[in-house]
Every structure is written in structure tokens, then in C-alpha cells.
Amino acid sequence: MSSGSPLVEVGDLSKTFDVSPPWLNRVVERKPRQFVHAVDGVSFSIERGKTLALVGESGCGKSTVARLLVGLYAPTRGKVRFDGTETTEALRSGAALALRRRMQMIFQDPYASLNPRWKVADIVGEPLKEHGLVAPADGRTRGARAADLKAQVAELLRSVGLAPADAEKFPHQFSGGQRQRISIARALATQPEFLVCDEPTSALDVSVQAQVLNIMKDLQRKQGLTYLFISHNLAVVRHVSDQVGVMYLGRLVELAEKAELFARPRHPYTRMLLDAIPDIHMSGRARTPVQGEVPNPLNPPSGCTFHPRCPHANARCKAERPALLQIKGVQVACHAVEEGRI
């Protein structure tokens, strides 16, 4: 294992969706073609065994990044490298199965991501069969293979805190938190190195969320998993991540080590997000009220897309789009920070 190079490297990743009206409307009503730049030039890397969290509000493109990484979308531009291999090409070639085995995804809604007609044994066992991970057929009987499959499923269920007997049940017999554990067991079936978790706990109650987050941390420690963790909840992000990337309208505006980001947020948007979190302990922390709303991504503002909501915006921010620069150990895309104005 080469410990020096990051497991996942993303360079200038972009995804544009065509949301144009149908051809006839364009011709008759003279409507133009329209594109949404869901992800626009995002670059980051994740070290082995670490967790990178992406945060942002609805529509900032964080889920699109997740889907691009596992190959559910093809990028419009840019590259994803996984352990040195470029995934876009590899996923089209014969090596796709081997690559998919190494990265798996956990989805947000545990009610929609499990087939209601399948038993848990089939749900968790499917990736094992698909990737040929059930004991090889060299001279063994079908019965032995079935027994091996059953044992593996039981072990997976045990690793996420469910009972082996649960394998014979259907998803509707479980609560939301238990279903999310089944999703995790399914994702772990192929012994992946990299898990993409798209809001894995946002559909869950807090006490159940704590159970799922604890399981995810335990698994990371035991199996050395690498996570990309997508969330809109900064408190959860603070709990699970090593590095945090803040996204706004398809771009990364700040990328920093967790401790640094929460102690000294640089970008005005990051500061605003931190200020917006309700203060449970009522410490009397001073908070600036948040201004404005996320603009329409179809027609984003010029220059820095955050400038209409930013208290530090000047003429340069309205005209020129800031690049993600390395400033005092963190990466931040802001003219005001670069010029030392804030």
C-alpha cells in the first residue's frame, strides 16, 4: 500500500446539465438553450483512512460530486483518480467491476434505497454474488456456496449491529436507523476501501443518527475505510470529518482541516453557515443574522457568486471570479481574504 499518495484525487471536476426547453418550444417561443453548472471546477484529494466532508445548502452540487465520484454521472470536464487510476475511462473498460468493488455508496433515504420485495439476505448478498465473492466453486457444491453466502451476510449484519436472524426479514420490518444499517452492510459487502456517503443520517432522528455515526466511525477505525461524507449539518460534519470542503453554487469556496475551519473560518459564506447553526448550549455567542437566499443556479451572479449576500463584497467581487488559493494553510476562494480585507 502506498501511503504517500492520496486514495482519491479529483481535479477540475465539472458537470453541466442541459435543462433547455424542448426543441419545439425553443423554435416557436425562441427560448435559448439553458445549462446548469451543477459542479464547476472542483478539486480535492482524500488521504487513505481519512474523511472528507462536503457541506453546503440545497442545490450547491454536493450530491452531484458524490455521484460523479462513483460513476453514476459522467463528468463534463475534469478527472477523478482512484488509487492512481482514472475512473472515467476505467469504468467503461473491462476493469469496471474490479473498480466498483473498491468503492461503494450509501444513499440518503433508507426507505427508497432498499428493494421492498427483497429479503435482507438478498439485499446484502447481491454484491457478494455480483462480484463473485462467495467461496469459489472449485469442487464445492451449491450447498456449500449457499452456506458461505449466509455466513458472510451474517457477519456483515453483525458488523453493523444487527442480528444474523434479521437476514430473513424484509425492509419494511425495520425502522429507519436499522434500514440505514442494512445499506451500510450492503456497501461493506465487497470490502471496499472508499465509501461515498450522501447525507446518510439526514433522514434519521438524532438518537438513531448517533447510532449510525458511531457505527461508521467504528468501521473506519477497524477497516481503514476512506469516506467522502456529504451533509448539510455542520455539527455532524464536525463530528465525523478530518477535512471539510464548503460548497456554494457548484464551487468549492473553502477547503481546510476540520479544526482550522471550525476555529477560524475564512470565507464569508463559511462564517455565515457557522453563524446560522442554532446554539444549543445558549452560550450567548454573538451571531450575525444571515442575509438573503441562494440565487437561482440557472442565472448565477457575476464574479464571485456569493457577492450579493456577502457583507465584504466590493467592485472586484462583482466582476472577477475568485480562484481557490492556498492562504495560510487553507484553500479559500475569496478576494477579500486574499487581499487581507477580512
Partner 1 sequence: MTAALLEVRNLRVEFPTRHATLVALDDVSFEIAPGEILGVVGESGAGKSLTGAAIIGLLDPPGRIAAGEIRFDGRRIDNLPYEAMRKIRGRHIGAIFQDPLTSLNPLYTVGRQLVETIQTHLAVGADEARRRAIKLLQETGIPAAEQRIDQFPHQFSGGMRQRVVIALALAAEPKLIVADEPTTALDVSIQAQIISLLKRLCKEHGAAVMLVTHDMGVIAETCDRVAVMYAGRIAEIGPVHDVIHSPAHPYTVGLMGSIPAMDEDRERLLQIDGAMPRLTAIPSGCAFHPRCPKAFGRCHVERPNLMAAQATQAACWLHAADMKAAA
The contact set with partner 1 (CB under 8 A) reads: 57-58, 175-178, 205-211, 213-214, 217, 232-236, 238-239, 262, 272-273, 275-283, 287, 289-290, 293-294
Neighbours of 28 (CB within 10 A): 10
Least separation in angstroms between residue 213's CB and partner 1 is: 6
N- to C-terminal Cα distance for the chain? Answer: 42
- Which H helix or E strand runs over 35? strand 35-46
Give whichever of 135 and 294 is closer to partner 1, judged by the CB atom: 294
Give whichever of 41 and 177 is closer to partner 1, judged by the CB atom: 177
Report H helices in the chain: 23-28, 62-70, 87-90, 96-102, 120-130, 142-159, 176-188, 206-223, 234-240, 258-263, 268-276, 315-319, 335-338
With beta carbons less than 8 A apart as the criterion, state whether 156 and 189 touch: yes
Least separation in angstroms between residue 308's CB and partner 1 is: 12
Least separation in angstroms between residue 174's CB and partner 1 is: 9
Least separation in angstroms between residue 153's CB and partner 1 is: 22
With beta carbons less than 8 A apart as the criterion, state whether 224 and 48 touch: yes
SS3 339: coil
With beta carbons less than 8 A apart as the criterion, state whether 322 and 338 touch: yes
Give whichever of 298 and 315 is closer to partner 1, judged by the CB atom: 298
Beta-ladder partners of 246? 55, 254
Q: Tell me phi and psi for residue 210, to 5 degrees.
A: -60, -40
Give whichever of 103 and 236 is closer to partner 1, judged by the CB atom: 236
Place of cell 438518537: 207
Give whichever of 237 and 317 is closer to partner 1, judged by the CB atom: 237
Neighbouring C-alpha atoms within 13 Å toward the C-beta of 26:
8
Give whichever of 133 and 210 is closer to partner 1, judged by the CB atom: 210
Give whichever of 188 and 272 is closer to partner 1, judged by the CB atom: 272
Least separation in angstroms between residue 239's CB and partner 1 is: 4
Q: Tell me phi and psi for residue 271, to 5 degrees.
A: -60, -40
Task: Name residues whose C-beta falls within 8 Å of residue 160's C-beta, 6 or more positions apart in sequence.
Answer: 181, 182, 184, 185, 188, 215, 219
Least separation in angstroms between residue 283's CB and partner 1 is: 7
Q: Which of 52, 50, 39 is nearest to 230 (CA)?
A: 52
Give whichever of 90 and 240 is closer to partner 1, judged by the CB atom: 240
Give whichever of 113 and 209 is closer to partner 1, judged by the CB atom: 209
Least separation in angstroms between residue 171's CB and partner 1 is: 15
Least separation in angstroms between residue 233's CB and partner 1 is: 8
Residue 103 CA from chain centroid, whole number: 12
With beta carbons less than 8 A apart as the criterion, state whether 179 and 110 touch: yes
Least separation in angstroms between residue 210's CB and partner 1 is: 3
